């Protein structure tokens, strides 16, 4: 994508008034292939991000990605190795990829971590909720930018 | 026919192009992705834990049951003869209900209507053991979906479901089992999701379970609401998976991680 394309995303805008659990996602600004500012305005904590990326139930990153994390034999190979991602991509580029990879590649298998579920038959527990909260996305971004060794 | 399967990296980088269905010469049973140890466990009847369910099913086959006090054998005789090749052509079209029926559903029907017994629970021991015993009579035979046009709508619906993105993770069965079958999800081989071994002994379950139970696991994994056991949707998926595996050898009881 060439010149900075600005788009303002507030996916919850069209919800009917009166619904009790109207999901509200905070808006973010996309510039080119990046989201330059932190979601919600505050940068995250790299240590918490490292733990989140490595665990297997919530973030699920290691189901598809390998990287410099514990237990290499339990890491998937359906996606690029995250080693050196902090050199290949800027903080804002990493943020957009974690928030919504499908904006760059609609056919991607990587779930949009900060968006409303798009698949059919979403199970009740997960309905109307993003996979990760803004603070958790920021923790992960803060960690991934530190992965400089290629 | 499509060209050679693109390397995994290419499939991912291609962006937007779904790799699509697997060509017949590239079909591989889930068994081929397992460790040598697990393959050996399946291959030897003395170490294959699924054989315990086969034995239990064999017993049930000749036990009189229900208000009519008849056994399966009373009507069907030796299963080794009468049930040979039956599982390889299920789901089949069922005239009574006017829709496709899977093997477990067919057996449950005989249990209630012909024996006059209670409706057996879908994943209950009794029905799983009987289904495993009946399907075992097809071991080694090729999957042979019937050339019955009445099954076409179910196969098409099964394929549609297989290719529909589901759940909070927004993934289709095909995202993994057509497009990334050579890969690893966490520590597990993705595989092509062939139904050849069912019911299987799954090490994770420490028990034998049905194809529907296995599909349920994948649906829960993508955080989707699973279909109900015995539902038309699962039977449609089974019908599609069997047509997708036509000609492959039946393995029941398969062993899987």
Residue A13: count of CB within 10 angstroms of its CB: 9
Residue B98 included in any domain: yes
Interval A6-58: pLDDT, tens: 333 333 333 333 344 556 899 999 999 999 999 999 999 999 999 999 999 99
Q: Which of A60, A78, A106 sits opposite B183 (nearest CB)?
A: A78
The predicted structure's pLDDT at residue B19: 55
The predicted structure's pLDDT at residue B244: 97
Higher pLDDT, A15 or A121: A121
Query: pLDDT class for A2, splitting at 50, 70, 90?
Result: very low
B176 is catalytic: no
Distance from CA of A123 to the nearest CA of B (A): 4
- Using a CB-CB cut-off of 8 Å, the residues of chain B touching A55 are none
Residue B1 included in any domain: no
CB pairs under 8 A between A and B: 91
Residue B251 included in any domain: yes
Q: Is A124 on the interface with B (CB under 8 A)?
A: yes
The predicted structure's pLDDT at residue A150: 86
The segments of chain B whose pLDDT lies below 70 read 1-19
Q: A117, B164: Cβ pair inside 8 Å? A: no
Residue B4 included in any domain: no
ipTM: 0.87
Q: What is the value of pTM for the model shown? A: 0.92
Q: A111, B171: Cβ pair inside 8 Å? A: yes
Interval B48-100: pLDDT, tens: 999 999 999 999 999 999 999 999 999 999 999 999 999 999 999 999 999 99
Distance from CA of B92 to the nearest CA of A (A): 27
Distance from CA of B7 to the nearest CA of A (A): 12
A89 pLDDT above the threshold of 90:
yes
The predicted structure's pLDDT at residue B11: 37
Per the structure, how many domains does chain B have? 1
Q: Is A119 on the interface with B (CB under 8 A)?
A: yes
Show the domain range for B192: 25-257
Residue B229 included in any domain: yes
Q: Is B224 on the interface with A (CB under 8 A)?
A: yes
Residue B20 included in any domain: no
A122 pLDDT above the threshold of 90:
yes
Q: Which of B16, B185, B222 sits opposite A106 (nearest CB)?
A: B16
The predicted structure's pLDDT at residue A16: 39
CATH code of residue B238:
1.10.760.10
């Amino acid at each position: 994508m060439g010149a900075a394309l600005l788009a303002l995303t507030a996916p919850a805008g069209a919800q009917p008034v009166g619904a009790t659990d109207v999901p509200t996602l905070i808006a973010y600004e996309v510039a080119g292939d990046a989201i330059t500012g932190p979601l919600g305005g505050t940068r995250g904590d790299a240590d918490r991000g490292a733990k989140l990326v490595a665990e297997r139930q919530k973030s699920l990153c290691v189901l598809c990605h390998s990287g410099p994390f514990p237990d290499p034999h339990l890491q998937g190979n359906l996606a690029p190795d995250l080693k050196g991602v902090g050199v290949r991509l800027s903080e804002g580029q990493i943020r957009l990829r974690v928030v919504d990879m499908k904006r760059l590649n609609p056919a991607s298998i990587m779930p949009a971590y900060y968006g409303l579920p798009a698949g059919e038959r979403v199970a009740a527990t997960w309905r109307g909720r993003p996979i990760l909260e803004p603070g958790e996305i920021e923790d992960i971004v803060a960690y991934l930018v530190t992965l400089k060794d290629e | 026919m499509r060209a050679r399967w693109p390397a995994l990296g290419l499939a991912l980088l291609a962006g937007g192009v779904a790799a699509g269905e697997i060509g017949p010469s590239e079909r591989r049973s889930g068994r081929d992705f397992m460790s040598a140890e697990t393959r050996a466990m399946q291959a030897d009847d003395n170490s294959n834990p699924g054989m315990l369910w086969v034995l239990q099913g064999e017993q049930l086959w000749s036990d009189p049951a229900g208000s009519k006090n008849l056994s399966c054998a009373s009507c069907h005789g030796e299963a080794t003869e009468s049930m040979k090749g039956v599982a390889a052509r299920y789901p089949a079209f069922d005239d009574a209900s006017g829709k496709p029926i899977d093997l477990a559903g067919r057996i449950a029907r005989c249990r209630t209507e012909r024996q006059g017994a209670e409706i057996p629970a879908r994943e209950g021991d009794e029905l799983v053991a009987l289904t495993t015993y009946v399907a075992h009579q097809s071991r080694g035979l090729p999957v042979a979906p019937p050339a019955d046009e009445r099954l076409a709508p179910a196969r098409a619906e099964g394929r549609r479901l297989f290719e529909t993105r589901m759940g909070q993770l927004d993934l289709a069965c095909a995202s993994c089992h057509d497009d990334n079958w050579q890969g690893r999800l966490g520590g597990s081989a993705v595989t092509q999701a062939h139904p050849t071994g069912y019911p299987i002994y799954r090490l994770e379950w420490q028990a034998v379970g049905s194809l529907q139970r296995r599909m349920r696991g994948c649906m829960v994994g993508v955080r989707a609401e699973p279909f109900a056991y015995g539902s038309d949707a699962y039977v449609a998926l089974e019908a599609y998976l069997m047509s997708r595996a036509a000609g492959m050898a039946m393995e029941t009881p398969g062993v899987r991680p």
